[in-house]
């Protein structure tokens, strides 16, 4: 496939997913029957994915999908009629919608569907997969491979979650102001989880996972456009764009791991960084700070290196101070200790790390041991640094990062 047809294919696929998600959300908003809505549209969506890349996106993509869905389902519906009266109900709604869609735009209910998928009554681990399936139409096997679970397990969990929406009576609605905060967190967290799954394949060797990072950004854009006054929604999008901008610099020519502070800024994507900065600036005008804005601000502080040539560690440390106050996450605490080491010296950084020593969650957490090893090495404590590096190496999954840590360990001075 040449570059142009690849672009056309991607555009057609995006349009198909967009229309599909809108239709599923529209149907499900009326019945709470997400699985039924997916059923009605499954064949039509597959046909669109197959045809649109060749023929181009039709003028009214949603109407196209519905027309195909209707034609293909006549037989199936006849067969199932007695067994599934509920599905028949959906078909009627689809027909009504098709009739009125000639002159009106379909209302966008996707945000409501996302809030249902990320409802507290849905098991937290399945929220991101559920959003990817219902809003973007990914099949269980694709989602399973991205989240490193078996397709059968993933499929079962998705089916169960969808049944739960209907049976438990989870509403498809955007929560009221008073409860929006907590609920929005769950939506943003699910989107970030999708992005992070894709991000964890830095070399981009697994296409499925890399797609997941773009889908996360796509969902982030959707939420930010539907809730343009929610600073954390803007913050999350900014955070993902900052990270995505650095993708080309995360690995060296030979596939070696390149830490953020050593990355070649010339490889960063300036357009994405500028967009992220603008989003973050806009979020700041709302006057409500939060986790994603702070994390995006850390990324922003790192990227100023492309203009000034130096990293503003004092700013980064302040941001991590603020983050550790609202999150209490050990991961934040480690990054804060690393920043302290840069502003106040390795001894102070190490002291901040040792305070965390009791946290059991860190015993098997590679970045903790790597940070500890790095600071011990700077203080000349070679023996303990080597021990900590061994621990970190033993815990790392990614071979490139493992090689990087092994090189660090080998570079320790011999006594």
Partner 1 sequence: MRYMLLIYNDEAAMANTPKEQTQQALAAYGAYTEALKKSGAWLAGERLRPTQAATAVRMAGAKTNVLDGPYADTKEQLAGFYMIEAADIDTAIEWAARCPAASTGTVEVRPIWEMTEYITEQ
Interacting residues with partner 1 (CB under 8 A): 84-86, 119, 121, 167-171
Using DSSP's 3-state secondary structure scheme, residue 83 falls into coil
Residue with smaller CB distance to partner 1, 103 or 167? 167
Question: Minimum CB separation from partner 1 for residue 126, in Å?
Answer: 16
Residue with smaller CB distance to partner 1, 115 or 320? 115
**What's the CA gap between 381 and 384, in Å, rounded?**
6
Using DSSP's 3-state secondary structure scheme, residue 230 falls into coil
Locate 37 and state its tokens. Answer: 């809505």
Question: Minimum CB separation from partner 1 for residue 164, in Å?
Answer: 9
Could you identify the residue written with the tokens 């320790």?
Answer: 412
Could you identify the residue written with the tokens 């550790």?
Answer: 324
Overall size of the chain counted in residues: 415
Question: Minimum CB separation from partner 1 for residue 219, in Å?
Answer: 23
**What's the CA gap between 227 and 351, in Å, rounded?**
42
Measured from the Cβ of residue 182, the count of other Cβ atoms closer than 10 Å reads 10
Question: Minimum CB separation from partner 1 for residue 187, in Å?
Answer: 15
Q: CA separation (Å) from 397 to 132, 195, 366, 367?
A: 25, 19, 9, 12
Question: Minimum CB separation from partner 1 for residue 271, in Å?
Answer: 41
Question: Minimum CB separation from partner 1 for residue 170, in Å?
Answer: 5
Residue with smaller CB distance to partner 1, 32 or 246? 32
Question: Minimum CB separation from partner 1 for residue 119, in Å?
Answer: 8
**Taking Cα atoms as reference points, which of 143, 139, 109, 131 lies closest to residue 42?**
139
**What's the CA gap between 71 and 183, in Å, rounded?**
39
**What's the CA gap between 173 and 183, in Å, rounded?**
11
Residue with smaller CB distance to partner 1, 72 or 173? 173
Going by C-beta distance under 8 Å and a sequence separation of 6 or more, which residues neighbour residue 366? Answer: 392, 395, 396, 401
Question: Minimum CB separation from partner 1 for residue 84, in Å?
Answer: 7
**What's the CA gap between 279 and 200, in Å, rounded?**
24
**What's the CA gap between 333 and 52, in Å, rounded?**
48
**What's the CA gap between 166 and 335, in Å, rounded?**
42
Residue with smaller CB distance to partner 1, 110 or 119? 119
Residue with smaller CB distance to partner 1, 105 or 176? 176
Residue with smaller CB distance to partner 1, 154 or 170? 170
Residue with smaller CB distance to partner 1, 86 or 181? 86
Which runs of consecutive H residues, i.e. helices, occur in 285-312?
291-303, 305-308
Residue with smaller CB distance to partner 1, 2 or 176? 176
CA 347, 349, 351: angle at the middle one, nearest 5? 70
Question: Minimum CB separation from partner 1 for residue 381, in Å?
Answer: 50
């Amino acid at each position: 496939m040449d570059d142009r047809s690849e672009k056309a294919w991607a555009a057609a696929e995006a349009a198909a997913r967009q229309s599909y998600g809108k239709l599923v959300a529209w149907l499900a908003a009326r019945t709470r029957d997400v699985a039924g809505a997916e059923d009605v549209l499954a064949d039509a969506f597959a046909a669109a994915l197959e045809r649109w890349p060749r023929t181009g996106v039709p003028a009214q993509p949603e109407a196209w999908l519905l027309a195909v869905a209707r034609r293909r389902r006549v037989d199936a519906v006849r067969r199932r009629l007695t067994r599934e009266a509920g599905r028949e109900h959906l078909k009627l709604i689809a027909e009504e919608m098709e009739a009125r869609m000639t002159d009106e735009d379909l209302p966008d209910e996707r945000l409501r569907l996302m809030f249902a998928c990320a409802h507290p009554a849905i098991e937290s681990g399945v929220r991101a997969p559920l959003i990817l399936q219902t809003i973007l139409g990914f099949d269980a096997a694709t989602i399973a491979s991205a989240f490193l679970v078996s397709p059968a397990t993933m499929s079962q969990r998705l089916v169960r979650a969808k049944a739960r929406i209907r049976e438990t009576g989870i509403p498809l609605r955007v929560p009221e102001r008073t409860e929006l905060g907590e609920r929005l967190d769950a939506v943003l967290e699910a989107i970030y989880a999708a992005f992070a799954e894709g991000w964890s394949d830095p070399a981009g060797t697994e296409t499925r996972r890399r797609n997941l990072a773009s889908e996360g950004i796509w969902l982030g854009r959707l939420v930010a456009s539907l809730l343009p006054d929610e600073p954390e929604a803007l913050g999350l999008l900014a955070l993902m764009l900052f990270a995505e901008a650095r993708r080309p610099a995360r690995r060296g020519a030979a596939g070696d791991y390149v830490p953020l502070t050593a990355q070649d800024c010339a490889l960063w994507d300036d357009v994405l960084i500028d967009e992220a900065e603008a989003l973050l600036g806009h979020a700041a005008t709302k006057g409500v700070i939060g986790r994603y804005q702070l994390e995006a601000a850390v990324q922003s502080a790192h990227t100023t290196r492309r203009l000034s040539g130096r990293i503003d560690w004092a700013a980064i440390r302040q941001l991590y101070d603020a983050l550790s106050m609202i999150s209490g996450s050990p991961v934040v605490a480690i990054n804060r200790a690393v920043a302290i080491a840069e502003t106040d010296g390795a001894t102070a950084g190490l002291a901040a790390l040792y305070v965390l020593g009791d946290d059991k969650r860190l015993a098997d957490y590679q970045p903790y041991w790597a940070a500890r090893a790095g600071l011990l090495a700077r203080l000349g404590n070679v023996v303990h640094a080597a021990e900590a590096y061994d621990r970190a190496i033993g815990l790392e999954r990614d071979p490139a990062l493992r090689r990087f840590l092994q090189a660090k360990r080998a570079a320790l001075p011999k006594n």
